[in-house]
Chains A and B, each alone.
Chain A
Amino acid sequence: MRAYILRRLAQSVLVVWAVTTIMFFMFRVMPADPTAMLLERGLSEQAREKLLQEWGLTGTLWDQYIAYLANILQGDFGNSFLYRKPVWDVLTPLIINTLWIAVPGLLLGAALGAVLGTAVGWARRGGKLERMGIFLATVIRGVPNFVIGIALLTIFSSTLGWFPEFGMGDPGDRTGFARYFTLEFLHHLALPLIAVIIYFMPENLLLMRSGVVENRTEDYIELVRAKGVPQSRVAWHAARNSMLPLITWLFPALAETIAGIVVIEIVFSWPGVGRELVFAVSRQDYPLAQAAFFLLAVMIVLANLAADLVYGKLDPRVVYK
């Protein structure tokens, strides 16, 4: 088990290194010249050289690459071109903002999807609940997530006026974590959070349903029924076994879903890391974009590792070698 985790961690490091390398070259083959945006016109050649040196953009490609890797190893992604301060100073508050909608959104989406999927899968085949469940889940899954966001905004903000239309609210003079524990913040959080849940839930529901439908006709379910346990308990056995394929899908999907959250952040003007990533790319703020991509890569790699470990906890047949 420990050897397995160590080996998987080593693999993960390798994957992250590959991603950072690709990232390095990708940004350098992009057609736009970052200095054009960075440097004001009419700057002397000397001043330009000095700035380039500061940003680590001098020397051969190889020299730049070595310097880049050395910096990353120290956790230093440089300064944002735009904000003119270290990228982590820019990103850290944004990451926290994103986690506020991502973590509860994905957890609730997965949990609700699993519960509803079990209900739909356990319902009478061809019955009303099954048909409605599949229909709604399929339709919602097919709707692009910005449409979900815009629909929520139109209904609950513009028309009913129940929720604010954008942003996180004014923190006033609160700093640090205190800013998150206000009614105003929760009020702003509600709609984007609901959007993430609606966006993430249908896939979970459909996967869970098909698992339960498959498992409910298995022999072991028949024996559980024969034991005379309550129906909810029989359904639980089917659900418990259906979680295995769901988990395999869920963790990698979590990372992918972060990309979907970018869109929701933009629709709700939520100052999160995803929104900033899009801005950074369009402004050729390479250090910032690199750091954000690096973060995404690490998250995807960790999600896969977590999936393997959780799967082992849920399925006694899994052996780590």
Chain B
Amino acid sequence: MNFTTFEKPGRKSTELAKLNDRLAAKPAAHLQVQNLSVGYSIARGIFQAVDDVSFEVKPGTNLGLVGESGCGKSTVIKAIMGLQPDGTRISGLALLNGENILGLSDRELQAIRWVKVALITQSAMNSLDPVYSIGDQIVEAIRSHENVSNATAWARAEELFALVGMPAARLYEFPHQFSGGMRQRAVIAMALALNAGMLLADEPTTALDPIMQSQIMQRIRGIHEHMRRSMILVTHDIAVVAETCENTVVMYAGKVAEKGPTEDVLERPLHPYTMGLKNAFPRLPVRGEPRQPLISIPGVVPNLFHPPKGCRFAGRCPFATERCHNDPPALVSEGMQAAACHYIDRASEFREAASRPETWRRMGSAA
């Protein structure tokens, strides 16, 4: 990969060099999300999509936000960017370098969006305006925040395209002329336009085929290593998190089920949901050992109009007891790790049982 962008070009125009210097000087951001709750009010009542979620992204690190569909992962991202629909109830804090950015107006957010926090969207398929060229859309992002000439902004866009491995000539093309993978790279290039301290990647590879997925993830990892931006990577792919993120937050039904350093969370999960999630992902077979069976977690995420009063995972948990159905568990720390389970002390016993398919199958037939 060719990362020439942040070396001083010198031969290019001085305005571009100055812009690049200015952008390169931006520090990686520190983000603390504290007690974030997001509720959508709908005719039938309030849909509590995110409930009391807290986590921290240290400068220059990468946080994986995992969980199955409908767990509130994207809602967290939207809340941080201030992109929630009208009438959404938000409480809690999102401290970006110590300053709360939750609940700001669109006008106030202008100074933060893309300047300090940039977004790599979930469906690059539809997230580009169909009637403007890709270059125009990147230039729009640059010139909305940096007082530079059109030519300089285009030169910057060309550098960004080189960074994601695309020829500059394609800047003049329109989204419909791009393949899914190219659009995703264009969206990444756009997110890097102002070298924001915080990158929010909302399932950047979900809509792509597996080969493209790994290419894009490699691209994101390369950029992360090179530029040392802080990043939240939303995904439901545990393998991606294992390869990319220092820390992991596992969400279930709008709540944090487990969080901690990725290695700990994936090697020694404390929460039965994390154990189940791990089982549900394929591992490469090791020669001489029996193939690991794929085990899915039976059941579905509970309806958040009427969340269960106890542990939200209790209905699908093979180890659930009376207490789990009645008492919501608090997050309990164990070392750097924390999990919302009443039986953290029995985690190693659960891990052993959870690796056997019968444990979950019995669960499924009972349900």
The reply to whether B131 and A226 contact each other, CB–CB distance below 8 Å, is: no
A317: chain B residues at CB < 8 Å are: 130, 174, 176
Q: Which of A212-233 contact B (CB under 8 A)?
A: 218-220, 222-231, 233
The reply to whether B127 and A220 contact each other, CB–CB distance below 8 Å, is: yes
B interface bracket (residues with beta carbon within 8 Å of A): 20 to 34
Q: Which of A9-35 contact B (CB under 8 A)?
A: none
Query: Of residues A125, A220, A314, which shows the largest number of chain B Cβ atoms within 10 Å of its Cβ?
Result: A220
Interface size on A, residues (CB 8 A): 24
- Select the stretch in B106-114, B161-169, B346-354 that faces chain A: B106-114
The reply to whether B109 and A228 contact each other, CB–CB distance below 8 Å, is: yes
A75: chain B residues at CB < 8 Å are: none
The reply to whether B113 and A316 contact each other, CB–CB distance below 8 Å, is: no
The reply to whether B174 and A230 contact each other, CB–CB distance below 8 Å, is: no
A-contact 0/1 string along B181-205, CB 8 Å cutoff: 0000001001000000000000000
Q: Does A124 contact B (CB under 8 A)?
A: yes
Complex CA–CA separation, A316 to B178 (angstroms): 13
The reply to whether A226 and B174 contact each other, CB–CB distance below 8 Å, is: no
Please name 15 pairs of A and B residues whose Cβ atoms are closer than 8 Å in the assembled complex, sorted by A.
A124-B86, A220-B128, A225-B83, A226-B113, A226-B121, A228-B111, A228-B145, A229-B110, A229-B140, A240-B131, A244-B131, A314-B131, A315-B130, A315-B131, A316-B174
Query: Of residues B114, B129, B174, which shows the largest number of chain A Cβ atoms within 10 Å of its Cβ?
Result: B129
Q: Does A237 contact B (CB under 8 A)?
A: yes
B153: chain A residues at CB < 8 Å are: none
Q: Does A241 contact B (CB under 8 A)?
A: yes
| Contact with B129, one of A124, A224, A228, A231 (Cβ below 8 angstroms) | A224
With A222-B121, A233-B144, A316-B176 known as contacts, the answer to whether A228 contacts B110 (CB < 8 A) is yes
B135 to chain A, nearest CB (A): 13
With A219-B123, A317-B176 known as contacts, the answer to whether A226 contacts B114 (CB < 8 A) is yes
B112: chain A residues at CB < 8 Å are: 228
A233: chain B residues at CB < 8 Å are: 140, 144
A-contact 0/1 string along B122-157, CB 8 Å cutoff: 110011111111000000110011000000000000
Interface residues of A (CB under 8 A from B): 124-125, 218-220, 222-231, 233, 237, 240-241, 244, 314-317
Complex CA–CA separation, A219 to B119 (angstroms): 12
| Contact with B121, one of A125, A219, A228 (Cβ below 8 angstroms) | A219
* Given A227-B140, A228-B109, A228-B144, 20 further pairs, Cβ under 8 A: A219-B122, A219-B126, A223-B119, A223-B121, A223-B187, A225-B106, A226-B114, A227-B141, A228-B115, A228-B145, A229-B140, A229-B144, A231-B107, A240-B131, A240-B132, A241-B129, A241-B130, A316-B130, A317-B174, A317-B176
B144: chain A residues at CB < 8 Å are: 227-230, 233
B113: chain A residues at CB < 8 Å are: 225-228
The 4 closest A-B pairs by CB, nearest first: A228-B113, A219-B126, A316-B174, A219-B127
Interface residues of B (CB under 8 A from A): 81, 83, 86, 106-107, 109-115, 118-119, 121-123, 126-133, 140-141, 144-145, 174, 176, 187, 190
B174's nearest neighbour on chain A, judged by CB, is A316
B199 to chain A, nearest CB (A): 12
The reply to whether A125 and B86 contact each other, CB–CB distance below 8 Å, is: yes
B291 to chain A, nearest CB (A): 39
The reply to whether A316 and B131 contact each other, CB–CB distance below 8 Å, is: yes
A315: chain B residues at CB < 8 Å are: 130-131
B77's nearest neighbour on chain A, judged by CB, is A226
Complex CA–CA separation, A36 to B129 (angstroms): 65
B187 to chain A, nearest CB (A): 8
B107: chain A residues at CB < 8 Å are: 231
B81's nearest neighbour on chain A, judged by CB, is A226
The reply to whether A231 and B106 contact each other, CB–CB distance below 8 Å, is: yes
The reply to whether B131 and A222 contact each other, CB–CB distance below 8 Å, is: no
The reply to whether B128 and A223 contact each other, CB–CB distance below 8 Å, is: yes
Complex CA–CA separation, A220 to B123 (angstroms): 9
B145: chain A residues at CB < 8 Å are: 228
The reply to whether A223 and B130 contact each other, CB–CB distance below 8 Å, is: no
B115's nearest neighbour on chain A, judged by CB, is A228
The reply to whether B127 and A222 contact each other, CB–CB distance below 8 Å, is: yes
A124: chain B residues at CB < 8 Å are: 86
B107's nearest neighbour on chain A, judged by CB, is A231
A56 to chain B, nearest CB (A): 52
B114 to chain A, nearest CB (A): 5
B131: chain A residues at CB < 8 Å are: 240-241, 244, 314-316
The reply to whether B126 and A218 contact each other, CB–CB distance below 8 Å, is: yes
B126's nearest neighbour on chain A, judged by CB, is A219
Complex CA–CA separation, A93 to B208 (angstroms): 63
